[in-house]
Amino acid sequence: MTVTSSFDSALDMLRNLGAFAANAVAPRVRLGVTGLSRSGKTVFTTALVHHLIGVTPMPVFRASAEGRIRRAILDDQPDDAVPRFPYEEHLATLGEPLRRWPESTTRIAELRVAIDYERRAGWRTGPASLAVDIVDYPGEWLVDLALIDKSFAEWSRETLAMSRAEDRAMIAAPWHVALAAVDPQKPASETEIARLADLFKAYLSALREGPERVATTPPGRFLMPGDLAGSPALTFSPLDLAPGAAPAPRSVHAQMERRYDAYRTHVVRPFFRDHFAQLDRQIVLVDVLSALDSGPRAVAELEEALDQVLIAFRAGSNTLLSSLVAPRIDKVLFAATKADHLHRSDHTRLEAILRLLVDRALRRTRGAGARVETLALASVRATREASVRSGRDTLPAIVGTPEAGERIGDELFDGQTEAAIFPGELPEDPQAVFSGAITPGALRFPRFRPPLRIPDAAGRLPPLPHIRLDRALEFLIGDRLS
CATH match of 11-137+275-378+470-481 with 3.40.50: yes
| More confident position, 169 or 139 | 169
Between CA 234 and CA 226 the distance in angstroms is 11
Q: Domain spans of the chain?
A: 11-137+275-378+470-481, 144-267
Can you tell me the mean pLDDT for 382-404? 91
Rounded to 10 degrees, what is the CA torsion of 59, 63, 66, 71?
Answer: -110
Strand pairing partners for 390? Answer: 393
Share of the chain above pLDDT 90, in %: 62
Over residues 291-305, mean pLDDT:
84
Whether pLDDT at 4 is above 60: no
Which pLDDT belongs to residue 1? 35
Q: Which of 39-53, 142-156, 188-202, 220-234 has the lowest mean pLDDT?
A: 220-234
pLDDT recorded at residue 30: 96
Nearest to 185 by CA among 259, 239, 264: 239
Q: What is the 3-state secondary structure of 409-443? A: CCEECCCCCCEEECCCCCCCCHHHHHCCCCCCCCC
Between 257 and 206, whose confidence is greater? 257
- 161-187 average pLDDT score: 94
Asked whether the predicted pLDDT for residue 388 surpasses 70, the reply is yes
Instruction: Work out the pLDDT band at 2, boundaries 50, 70, 90.
Output: very low
Per-residue pLDDT at 436 exceeds 90:
no
The CA-atom distances, in angstroms, between 434 and each of 104, 171, 357, 429 are 29, 23, 10, 10
Asked whether residue 107 carries a pLDDT value surpassing 70, the answer given is yes
The answer on pLDDT for 442 being more than 90 is no
Most confident of 90-94, 116-120, 436-440: 90-94
Question: Nearest 5 degrees, angle CA 66-CA 70-CA 72?
Answer: 115
Q: What is the mean pLDDT of residues 21-32?
A: 76
**Is the pLDDT assigned to residue 14 strictly greater than 80?**
no
Note the pLDDT of residue 302: 85
> How far from chain centre, in Å, is Cα 330?
18
State pLDDT tens for residues 320-357.
Answer: 555 555 678 999 999 999 999 999 999 999 999 999 99
**Is this structure's pTM higher than 0.75?**
yes
**Model confidence at 6, in pLDDT bands (50, 70, 90)?**
very low
**Mean pLDDT of the chain, nearest integer:** 88
- pLDDT of 63 strictly over 80: yes
- pLDDT at residue 210, as a whole number: 60
Give the pLDDT band (50/70/90) at residue 378: very high
CA angle (460, 462, 468) in 5-degree steps: 160
User: Please, are residues 323 and 20 in contact by the beta-carbon 8 Å criterion?
Assistant: yes
Q: Which region, left, alpha or beta, applies to residue 360 given φ > 0 means left and ψ of -120 to 50 means alpha?
A: alpha
Residue of 278, 277, 270, 241 whose CA lies nearest to 256: 241
Distances (CA, A) of 439 to 207, 273, 408, 434, 436: 21, 43, 16, 11, 6
Strand 281-286, strand 69-74: pairing: unpaired
- The yes-or-no verdict on residue 11 having pLDDT over 60 is no
The pLDDT assigned to 82 comes to 92
Query: 7: pLDDT confidence band, cut at 50, 70 and 90?
Result: very low
| pLDDT at residue number 15 | 57
What is the distance between the alpha carbons of residues 15 and 407, in angstroms, rounded to a whole number? Answer: 53
Residue type, 195: R
3 pLDDT tier (thresholds 50, 70, 90): very low
